[in-house]
């Protein structure tokens, strides 16, 4: 009961201090609880009390060696402990381990330099996850890393590449392998709309850019990351779809087609990966502000990009919170699809532009 209450306090009620008290009470009653020490390690790490964090991490891996990963070791700055030493102290049956996601899992977010991807980086960082952030704009990635490390003290690895370029995706993935970083959660977010023209006037370059980014880029990344998940029998892929993947709207033709492809791929991946204990989810938002989506769609035309002023759309943070919620459900729960619209938007074409 103490443990369940502590998790509730930490994750839903945003009261980490009180949660820590109940994690300690859990340990008082059950010294070898499989997760309480680990949760305390995370708590103290987030508080910047690294020595205490390290102490609890030691205790956690002695009880539950599955919690020891290279990423956790470096996060808690711990020297290598020979596996036999840990095994000798362990009185833990695997079947007894309750399913609970590890909060220092590593999340790779494509398109983290702006909008929903950037907001998601903050959501995961706040929860203590390690991050791999990608995008084409190196300066943005660097400043984001600085901000996240200063605020949350988490590990951030940057990979600058274009998801349309299969070789560049492979090179980035090889870099991860060299660093011995395994991806637990892949957020396929990088994407864009370009243009808003009827089909007979469509710009072929726009079409190819959208298809190459939204469909092929997502596939390249999934193809590279998913085999490791299959091998480890653990992982979560979260695709950023759109309401444009659920319905079509005038002049949205190719963008809608790419997001319909994402919708189909989410369902198809789920069928293929369920057997390997891999979760597949997607979030399908309608219009989202605090992003560069409209500016990109209208190629820098700030006037045309003013599409959010006369109603309240979703904010990037709303979508990011949903992505983080999906990722932090217990390991046996797979939220497959979340469709999100601002209250004033009922469909792609029905927006009540009556002011904010």
Chain positions 50 to 109 lying near ligand NDP, rule: CB under 6 A, are none
Select the residue interacting with ligand NDP from 46, 69, 102, 242 (CB under 6 A). Answer: 242
Cβ contact 243:286 at 8 Å: yes
Distances (CA, A) of 158 to 76, 131, 185: 20, 8, 16
Least distance from C-beta 346 to ligand NDP, angstroms?
15
Residue number, 69 or 188, with CB nearest to ligand NDP: 188
Select the residue interacting with ligand NDP from 64, 293, 328, 342 (CB under 6 A). Answer: 293
Q: Is 169 in the site for ligand NDP (CB under 6 A)?
A: no
d(CA 48, CA 2): 24
Task: Give bridge partners of residue 239 from the DSSP assignment.
Answer: 188, 282
Least distance from C-beta 111 to ligand NDP, angstroms?
3
Residue tagged active-site, from 56, 255, 276, 332: 255
Give the residue carrying structure tokens 């939204």: 214
Residue number, 230 or 257, with CB nearest to ligand NDP: 257
Considering CB under 6 A, how many residues would be counted as binding ligand NDP? 30
Buried b / exposed e over 341-354, threshold 16 CB at 10 Å, is: bbebbeebeebeee
For the question of residue 50 being annotated catalytic, the response is no
Q: Is 266 in the site for ligand NDP (CB under 6 A)?
A: no
Chain positions 125 to 164 lying near ligand NDP, rule: CB under 6 A, are 135-137, 140, 162-164
Cβ contact 343:287 at 8 Å: no
- Which residues are CB-neighbours of 83 under 8 A, at least 6 positions away? 65
Tokens of 61: 């891996």
Q: What is the largest CA-CA distance in the chain?
A: 71
d(CA 313, CA 289): 6
Tokens of 19: 């949660």
Q: Is 120 in the site for ligand NDP (CB under 6 A)?
A: no
Select the residue interacting with ligand NDP from 46, 291, 322, 328 (CB under 6 A). Answer: 291
Sort strands 278-285 and 130-135 into parallel, antiparallel or unpaired.
Answer: unpaired
Q: Is 296 in the site for ligand NDP (CB under 6 A)?
A: yes
Contacting range for ligand NDP; rule: CB under 6 A; set: 49-57, 82-90, 112-120, 274-282: 112-120
Sort strands 185-188 and 235-240 into parallel, antiparallel or unpaired.
Answer: parallel
By the 10 Å C-beta count (0-12 exposed, 13-18 middle, 19+ buried), 57 is classed as buried
Residue number, 108 or 240, with CB nearest to ligand NDP: 240
Least distance from C-beta 143 to ligand NDP, angstroms?
12
Q: Is 113 in the site for ligand NDP (CB under 6 A)?
A: yes
Residue number, 35 or 293, with CB nearest to ligand NDP: 293
d(CA 250, CA 233): 43
Least distance from C-beta 109 to ligand NDP, angstroms?
9
Nearest of 262, 172, 183 to residue 218 by alpha carbon = 262
Residue number, 78 or 296, with CB nearest to ligand NDP: 296
| Contact set with ligand NDP (CB under 6 A) | 110-117, 135-137, 140, 162-164, 189-192, 213, 217, 240, 242, 285, 287-288, 291-293, 296
Please give the positions annotated as active site.
Answer: 255
């Amino acid at each position: 009961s103490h443990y369940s209450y502590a998790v509730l306090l930490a994750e839903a009620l945003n009261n980490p201090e009180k949660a820590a008290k109940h994690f300690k009470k859990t340990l008082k009653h059950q010294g070898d609880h499989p997760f309480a020490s680990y949760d305390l390690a995370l708590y103290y790490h987030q508080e910047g009390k690294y020595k205490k964090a390290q102490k609890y991490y030691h205790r956690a891996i002695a009880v539950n060696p599955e919690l020891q990963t290279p990423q956790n070791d470096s996060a808690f700055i711990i020297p290598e402990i020979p596996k036999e030493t840990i095994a000798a102290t362990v009185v833990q049956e695997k079947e007894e381990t309750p399913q609970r996601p590890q909060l220092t899992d590593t999340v790779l977010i494509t398109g983290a330099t702006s909008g929903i991807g950037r907001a998601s980086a903050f959501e995961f960082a706040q929860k203590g996850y390690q991050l791999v952030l990608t995008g084409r704009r190196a300066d943005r990635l660097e400043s984001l890393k600085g901000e996240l490390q200063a605020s949350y003290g988490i590990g951030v690895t940057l990979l600058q590449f274009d998801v349309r370029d299969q070789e560049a995706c492979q090179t980035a993935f090889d870099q991860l392998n060299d660093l011995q970083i395994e991806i637990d959660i892949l957020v396929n977010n990088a994407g864009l709309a370009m243009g808003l023209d009827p089909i007979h006037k469509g710009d072929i370059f726009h079409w190819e850019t959208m298809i190459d980014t939204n469909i092929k880029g997502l596939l390249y990344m999934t193809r590279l990351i998913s085999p490791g998940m299959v091998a480890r029998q653990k992982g979560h892929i979260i695709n950023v779809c759109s309401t444009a993947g659920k319905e079509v709207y005038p002049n949205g033709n190719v963008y809608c087609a790419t997001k319909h492809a994402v919708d189909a791929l989410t369902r198809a991946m789920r069928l293929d990966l369920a057997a390997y204990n891999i979760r597949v989810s997607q979030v399908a938002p309608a219009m989202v502000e605090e992003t560069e989506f409209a500016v990109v769609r209208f190629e820098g035309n700030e006037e045309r990009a003013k599409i959010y002023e006369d109603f309240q759309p979703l904010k990037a943070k709303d979508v990011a919170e949903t992505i983080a919620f999906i990722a932090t459900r217990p390991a046996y729960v797979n939220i497959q699809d979340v469709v999100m619209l601002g209250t004033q938007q009922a469909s792609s074409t029905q927006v009540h532009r009556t002011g904010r």
